[in-house]
Structure 1
């Protein structure tokens, strides 16, 4: 803004008051634009949009058609025009300026000082960059865009240029410095976001790799158990090794789903249970039908739940149809805060004296009770009419399950 003339006459106070009145809306407008930029910078993570909006509002605030953000490119030791208004279309992202002390932007970058030059053609401190002379620029302000952290290089320079005669003053430079400060915060926030995303991606990669390797290792163990089972002399030993292999296969399937899952540490129970039922169908002489609603559950719950399904289906396969084959139905759905699972058959039913709490209950039901305890679950076992058994499980879900 032009300074008051300062004439020594009786009218000087009135002239000073008039100049103040003219300048006040100008300064209030600048403060309003600075506040607008602060709000918009907080509402977006798009750094290109933030840089561009800063140049637009700075140009408005200083009533000039030209403004730009210059980013320091360490490999080239140049200041690249990253965003701007008023320039030819081939300037943004293409033209760069020297970073030496002989250019206004380079001086601001090297020293960290505000640079106000109201007569570029007459400057003895700096040379006028070709970009400015080609656009008829006569005056300019440059302020540093700093970044947090000791020893970190500045991001670059925020510059406003004008082809018209006039005066930029320290208050204008302070207005520009306010934008540069907000830009520095936004740039650091983007860097922190990028570092966090990189760390999370790396952690996800490690988790998937670990789950993949665990699955492969468990598959090797299953292979060894099956080899031992085939060579065992006792049918009881063969059955025990077969059951152990089945349980380990179930755990391996969870890890297979973990490393392929979009949500680290979770599996979709519909996909996992469906694949588990298909695998069980391949190993028993019965039809296994499976119906599950989609629900992401943690591995801590998926492993014991998979083992429960494995034990219940295996029990039905062993005892429900002694004279032939039949169907085993497995279903699961969310009911309020619980996950409800049912495994049913239409076989010969339970012995009349069956009691799940009886210490002499089968090994399979002892395993089931142990797994239920891990999940804080509840079980109900009932004989169907006219035949068969239905086992109902209610398992509490963690609050974060979706």
Structure 2
């Protein structure tokens, strides 16, 4: 292991060369700070042993100069027995450790031990930096793969949705067309989640306002029952997991589809969608001013939408509330869950 020994005392440097060689250290002597900096820049060393006192400078000047070069080579600072303040300044300047220079036989054993410890610490630091780098690379690869997977799933679901749309065009009965259209809307809700995950900075979360807004716009644009119905949205900023987003998307599709189909049988009207949070609870509500909903008569149509809402509510851990005391007319449905 090559050691740069920066000291203007040639006799001590020769002694250090002989003593450190017994511990498999190859010592390269630099008699001045200028020479030491030239060698440090031109060659590779495992460590530097740096004296403090020089003719016109101190070892602190060496520390300052190599700090600008960004090398992580450990430096052992050699000070006199009464230079505690100098040792502290050296440590703050980037030295890995310091050794007190004495006239006794303890100096070189202490220097050898400090060198071995500094080299071991440097090795552990390099290994940690490499492990951190590999961890970052692995995380980036995993996020890239996950984003690509979400992208492919969203595209595949969009392809399935297009096939269903083609099937609708050749279907004979209105009942079949309606069923296919509702299935297409549900697929759109799931595809929207994967599209949001693909475009999100955090691939583990879905921003509900970003996800639900385009979902409602697409629903209104592709649903024949939406003619004459205006959708008004008030969506707060709220993130959730992909599973919860899928459940909320399916519930919202069912509620809004029902409102567009049944709320205003004689003409046009407004359907209001609101997402809000309060005290750790979230609420997604769908409201209209139409003919109202009578729960005693049971669901209209096949009842599949109601069953889906109940199933998705269980997945979400939510409660579904129908009606509101201050709303005697129209329909109000709210989905409440803990964030």
| Aligned residue number for residue 25 of structure 2 | 114
What's the CA shift for 1:266? 1.2
What's the CA shift for 1:334? 2.4
| Aligned residue number for residue 284 of structure 2 | 341
TM-score where L is the length of structure 2: 0.69
| Aligned residue number for residue 271 of structure 2 | 328
| Aligned residue number for residue 158 of structure 1 | 47
User: Of residues 232, 238, 241 in structure 2, which corresponds to 1:298?
Assistant: 241
| Aligned residue number for residue 172 of structure 1 | 111
Moved more, 292-301 or 224-233: 292-301
Gaps of 5+ in 1: 1-58, 66-103, 121-127, 141-154, 398-402
8 A contact 1:355–1:361 mirrored in 2: no
Instruction: Specify whether residues 321 and 211 from structure 1 end up closer, same or farther in structure 2 by C-alpha distance, changes over 3 A only.
Output: same
8 A contact 2:150–2:195 mirrored in 1: yes
- Which aligned runs of 4 or more in structure 1 are off by greater than 4 angstroms? 62-65, 161-168
**Aligned-partner Cα distance in 2 for 1:185–1:206:** 31
Instruction: Specify whether residues 352 and 224 from structure 1 end up closer, same or farther in structure 2 by C-alpha distance, changes over 3 A only.
Output: closer
Residue aligned with 2:287, SS: strand
User: Of residues 176, 199, 213 in structure 2, which corresponds to 1:260?
Assistant: 199
Instruction: Specify whether residues 135 and 252 from structure 1 end up closer, same or farther in structure 2 by C-alpha distance, changes over 3 A only.
Output: same
Asked if 1:372 is matched to 2:279, the reply is no
8 A contact 1:308–1:368 mirrored in 2: yes
Instruction: Specify whether residues 282 and 135 from structure 1 end up closer, same or farther in structure 2 by C-alpha distance, changes over 3 A only.
Output: same
What's the CA shift for 1:170? 3.2
8 A contact 1:347–1:389 mirrored in 2: yes
| Aligned residue number for residue 131 of structure 2 | 192
Instruction: Specify whether residues 352 and 303 from structure 1 end up closer, same or farther in structure 2 by C-alpha distance, changes over 3 A only.
Output: closer
| Aligned residue number for residue 85 of structure 1 | none
User: Of residues 384, 387, 390 in structure 1, which corresponds to 2:332?
Assistant: 390
8 A contact 2:32–2:54 mirrored in 1: no
8 A contact 1:258–1:267 mirrored in 2: yes
TM-score where L is the length of structure 1: 0.59
Asked if 1:247 is matched to 2:186, the reply is yes
8 A contact 1:293–1:332 mirrored in 2: yes
Q: Give per-residue Cα distances to partners, 1:128-167, cap 9 Å, x unaligned.
A: 8xxx789345xx9xxxxxxxxxxxxxx9611224595998
8 A contact 2:6–2:33 mirrored in 1: no
Please state which structure has a larger fraction of its residues in helix.
Answer: 2
* Number of matched pairs: 267
8 A contact 1:253–1:276 mirrored in 2: yes
| Aligned residue number for residue 14 of structure 1 | none
Q: Give per-residue Cα distances to partners, 1:218-250, cap 9 Å, x unaligned.
A: 011001101111110100000000000111011
User: Of residues 271, 276, 296 in structure 1, which corresponds to 2:215?
Assistant: 276
What's the CA shift for 1:64? 6.5
| C-alpha RMSD over aligned residues | 3.5
Asked if 1:183 is matched to 2:82, the reply is no
User: Of residues 296, 316, 322 in structure 2, which corresponds to 1:353?
Assistant: 296
What's the CA shift for 1:112? 8.1
| Aligned residue number for residue 217 of structure 1 | 156
8 A contact 2:196–2:211 mirrored in 1: yes
Gaps of 5+ in 2: 9-16, 56-77, 79-100, 102-106
